[in-house]
Structure formats: structure tokens, C-alpha cells
Amino acid sequence: MQGTMLYGPRDVRFEERPDPAIIEPTDAIIRLSATCVCGSDLWPYRGVDPVTQPIPMGHEYVGIVEEVGSAVRNIKPGQFVVGSFFASDNTCEICRAGYQSSCIHRQPGAPTGAQAEYARIPLADGTLVATPGLPPTDLIPSLLAASDVLGTGWFGAVAAEAGPGKTVAVVGDGAVGLLAVLAAKQLGAERIIAMSRHESRQRLAWEFGATDIVTERGDEGAAKIKELTGGLGAHSVVEAVGTQESMMQAIRSTRPGGHVGFVGVLHDVEIPGEEFFFSHVHLHGGPAPVRRFLPELIDLIWSRKINPGKVFDLTMPLEQVAEGYRAMDERRAIKALLRP
């Protein structure tokens, strides 16, 4: 098959790869219907995360099951399935508490790489969720969004305790931040402040349910949030970037007793202890347990109550994957969808 490998900074190659095969009896092989480039793929692409050997890329996927191992009970060949970036058994105590991305048997969700024609998915019964049937083509982008960016934005909003009566601020206008706006709206938030200075992203934020846009960032952004909330700060703040500036912007935008849900992968972030101590802010986040939310998200998409697939503003054939990385790196695209 053909698949995507990252050889080093900005060196993405689409090349011949071994066909994935069942290794463990709990594995499944899927044929990808769609995949995409993740904001987190840009960390190694930009050389921030070192690349010491060529790595198979891609961890967002939807597709049709080709083959399952002998121990797989519920997932069947021919089903259309959605998975996420960590494989989990969905039965251990941590999974049952809703933290499948910290499953005691956690593995990469698509170790052979999902920016490819086929992928091996470990722990298929725990990891994959089948849709009610083969989806119409126009639902595929939204189902793909559920695989990572929607699930992650949703967890950010849940971790920030977004809900009725709450003012929610979202730091970051990438796909995850925009979908955290959508999640906050679905969870019933009263006011949703999107922090963005890009016109096309602001438009999508309005469409997903934002009630206010703040263009300032850093401490100016936090001051603006306070100004909009009677000097108090937001009840709930979703951090969807992962830098020192964005994390502090999130903490400083939150009122005492409020919650920050942080889902941007933190890179070299240090939180000043004394400031944090006196802030009275709850922090919760980490790699989203997307699996927890998948059944509900698939249902909302299947019944066309939400359309998260709108974050894909660029669609291209999978073999042009390198251009997808470039477009996202240069922020010409919010998110690139790749069709095998």
C-alpha cells in the first residue's frame, strides 16, 4: 500500500509501505475512507518534537473494516467505523471511569499510520465504534472530525465544565478550538467567547455558536475577557493551543472557582506556582478520551444535529499529503482532509 512517512522537519513522503496485517488477535485492519493532518502532526513536522527515524504519520481515521483478529467479538468486516488516536480496551477501571486515553492497555490508535490506504487498529473492540450503517458521503468529514478534533474540543468543553448559565471562553482558533465552541453550544453554554484574529476562522466560530469574538491575545486577551464578564473572568475556559502564552491566557481569563479545560498539547509550559495558588482556578485536561464521547458524537452527526466537518476547508487526494502539511503549517488551511 501507499502511506505517509515523516523523515525529518518538513520532509513528508508518500511512499510504498508494507500492507498492515493482523498481529494480535484483538487487531482489526481498516481501509481508510478519509484521513487528515492534525495540528499535533505539525510539532514533529516543524522539528519541535525531534524525529530520529522515519515515522508513519496519521492518527485520525474513519474507514471500512477489512479483517479482524480471532479475538474480536463486536467489530465485523464491512462495518464503517470511527476510532481515535489511542487504542483502549474500554473495559479496565480507568476506561470505565471515562479516561480511555489513559487505558492501562493504551497503545497508539493507528500504529502503522492513518495517512495511508490501510491501517492496523489494536484493541478493535474497545477502540472502534461502528456507525449505524454505511454513511452518506457528505457525513464522512464530520465523522472524521469526531475521530480527534471534535472529540478533543468536546473534552475541552466538558473539562472546563461548560454548561447552562456559563460563560465559556475558547483560546485557540484551530479546528479543536472552533469545535470547542460547537461543543460549548451543544452543552448549553449561555455565552461563548471565541478568541481569534483570523476572519475566516471567526466566521466559523460564529456559525458554531460563538456570541462574542475577542481578537486580543496574551494578557490583553485575558483583560478583554475580564472586561466582558464584569471584571470576573469566564466560568469556563478551553485552552486549545499548548504554549506558555496560551496557557497563561487561559488561566488569567478564568474567574476564581472557574475551570480551565486544556487540550492543546503542552510544550515547555511552566505555571508560576504562587500565581496559580491564589487564582482558585481548576485545571483539568490532557489527551482527550475521545472514545468516551464517540457514541454520542456519532449520534449527533448521524441525525445531522451538528456539522463539525466544516472545519475541513481543504480536501485533496491522499498522495498530495505533503501539500496538506504545508497548507496547515502556513495556516492557509484550518484542516486538510485527505481522500485515499
Residues that bind Zn ion (CB under 5 A): 88-89, 92, 95, 103
* Residue closer to Zn ion (CB basis): 68 or 95: 95
Contact criterion met (CB below 8 Å) for 17 and 1: yes
* Residue closer to Zn ion (CB basis): 95 or 281: 95
Least distance (Å) between residue 105 CB and Zn ion: 6
Least distance (Å) between residue 103 CB and Zn ion: 3
Residue type, 1: M
Contact criterion met (CB below 8 Å) for 227 and 250: no
* Residue closer to Zn ion (CB basis): 76 or 96: 96
The cell numbers describing 223, all together, are 483583560
Residues recorded for the chain: 340
The cell numbers describing 229, all together, are 464578564
Residue type, 315: T
Euclidean distance between the first and final Cα of the chain, in Å?
Answer: 11
Least distance (Å) between residue 126 CB and Zn ion: 7
Least distance (Å) between residue 93 CB and Zn ion: 8
Residue type, 244: Q
Least distance (Å) between residue 217 CB and Zn ion: 38
- State the SS3 of 5-57: EEEECCEEEEEECCCCCCCCCCCEEEEEEEEECCHHHHHHHCCCCCCCCCEEC
Distance of alpha carbon 274 from alpha carbon 87, whole angstroms: 38
* Residue closer to Zn ion (CB basis): 102 or 315: 102
In which element (H, E) is residue 199 found? helix 199-208
Least distance (Å) between residue 299 CB and Zn ion: 23
Least distance (Å) between residue 98 CB and Zn ion: 11
Contact criterion met (CB below 8 Å) for 293 and 155: yes
- CA angle (162 as vertex; 160, 164 as ends), nearest 5: 155
**CA-closest candidate to residue 41, choices 20, 26, 60:** 60
Least distance (Å) between residue 10 CB and Zn ion: 36
Least distance (Å) between residue 99 CB and Zn ion: 8
Q: How many angstroms separate the Cα of 120 from the Cα of each of 12, 113, 127, 149?
A: 21, 8, 12, 21
* Residue closer to Zn ion (CB basis): 12 or 75: 75
Residue type, 279: S
Q: What is the dihedral of CA 319, 314, 139, 27, to 10 degrees?
A: 40
Residue 118 bridge partners (DSSP) = 31
